Amino acid sequence: MAREDAVRCLRCLLYALNLLFWLMSACVLGVAAWIRDSLNAVLTLTAHTRLEEAAVLTYSPAVHPVIISVCCFLVIVAMVGYCGTLRCNLLLLSWYFCSLLVIFCVELASAVWTYDEPSVQRSDMISLKSRMPNYGLQRYQWLTHTWNSFQTEFKCCGVIYFTDWLEMTEMEWPPDSCCSNQYPGCARHAHFHDLSDLHQEGCGPKIYSFIRGTKQLQVLRFLGVSIGVAQILAMALTLTLLWALYYGRKSPEPNAIVPAMPPDDSAPLTATHGLSEASKPGCNRTNKGCANMPAADASTRNEHQFEMERLS
């Protein structure tokens, strides 16, 4: 009974851990997709600069294809683990344990391989100005779109200040994406009437803060550590469940009641018959003369009858 209760408890814990794997894997994939959009914009604006290298070092563990593939594979492994736990199948549970071990080793190797502190300084933000003269050109429409998207999302304008657009380009006023309330011609109106309608903070400090780490990146790191701890716990529980199931199938229950054998009716008869034979004087199983006693009695009677006829 104690073993059955332990197996039931182990199965419940594995159910909960597999559900946790599904939720955490979905969260990792969602946050990684959310970060990827902003990261693409940063990589476009910081191309061929030290900021690009720093951004790649910081976010490669989060959006690396290996990590994304591992999270997708973990969802499948959790489903197999759930089925193996539900059916108490030793083969599925063994495959589940081996898969968790491989995934954990890949995650650990990837984290060690990609871990590196980005060496970036605030003075490197000046290099972003080299990307501004191409704004608005026909063959650099992708760069124009990236500048507009980044300034709108992060609510910034220019590199250090919105006047960078006037210094680095031939524009007479900043792009409309610098306006806090965007509409066609809003930047021109703000430049001549009310500069407070423009974003006052530059995009350089925003990119620097993004490279140093965002809340989304912290969430991904927390999820990664949580998945690793959950995998260690799941492997330990799976090993314990495998041992309990294998031991339960190999050895029977010690308190099992052995069914009583039906009584043999021939035994008393045999015993009684043996007793009747043994009760005869001078007769036992080793005495061969017991078998010839009836024949001897008959011969004696015949001799007495013959003697009586002769005397008569």
Do 39 and 111 reside in the same domain of the chain? yes
Instruction: Say which residue, 59 or 290, is predicted with more confidence.
Output: 59
Per-residue pLDDT band for 232 (boundaries 50, 70, 90) equals: very high
Chain position carrying tokens 């005397």: 311
Residue 201 lies in a domain: yes
Q: CA 102, 104, 109, 114: dihedral to nearest 10 degrees?
A: 130
Query: Are 241 and 11 spatial neighbours (Cβ–Cβ below 8 Å)?
Result: yes
Do 113 and 128 reside in the same domain of the chain? no
- The pLDDT score that the predictor gives to residue 272 is 42
Q: What is the mean pLDDT of the chain?
A: 76
Q: Which residues share a beta bridge with 3?
A: none
The fraction of the chain above a pLDDT of 70, given in percent, is: 74
The answer, yes or no, to whether residue 195 has pLDDT greater than 50, is yes
Residue 266 lies in a domain: no
Do 11 and 130 reside in the same domain of the chain? no
Do 17 and 96 reside in the same domain of the chain? yes
Per-residue pLDDT band for 210 (boundaries 50, 70, 90) equals: confident
Structural tokens at position 292: 């010839």
Do 1 and 112 reside in the same domain of the chain? yes
- The pLDDT score that the predictor gives to residue 99 is 92
Q: Give the domain range for residue 155.
A: 124-209
Q: What is the CATH number of the domain that holds 200?
A: 1.10.1450.10
Lowest-pLDDT range of 7-11, 162-166, 263-267? 263-267
Do 6 and 110 reside in the same domain of the chain? yes
Do 26 and 174 reside in the same domain of the chain? no
- The pLDDT score that the predictor gives to residue 113 is 66
Q: How many domains does the chain have?
A: 2
Task: Give the whole-angstrom CA distance, residue 230 versus residue 234.
Answer: 6
Structural tokens at position 177: 């994406």
Do 31 and 167 reside in the same domain of the chain? no
Angle in degrees, 0-180, between the axes of helices 2-45 and 50-63, rounded to the nearest 10:
160
Task: Give the whole-angstrom CA distance, residue 172 versus residue 229.
Answer: 56
Do 52 and 77 reside in the same domain of the chain? yes
Instruction: Say which residue, 115 or 133, is predicted with more confidence.
Output: 133
Residue 91 lies in a domain: yes
Do 193 and 132 reside in the same domain of the chain? yes
Do 7 and 149 reside in the same domain of the chain? no
- The pLDDT score that the predictor gives to residue 259 is 52
Task: Find which of 2-16, 118-132, 225-239 is predicted with most confidence, using mean pLDDT.
Answer: 225-239
- The pLDDT score that the predictor gives to residue 199 is 87
**What size, in residues, is the chain?**
312
Do 85 and 13 reside in the same domain of the chain? yes
Residue 221 lies in a domain: no
Reported as a single tens digit per residue, the pLDDT across 31-46 is 888 888 778 888 888 8
Chain position carrying tokens 């954990």: 104
Residue 295 lies in a domain: no
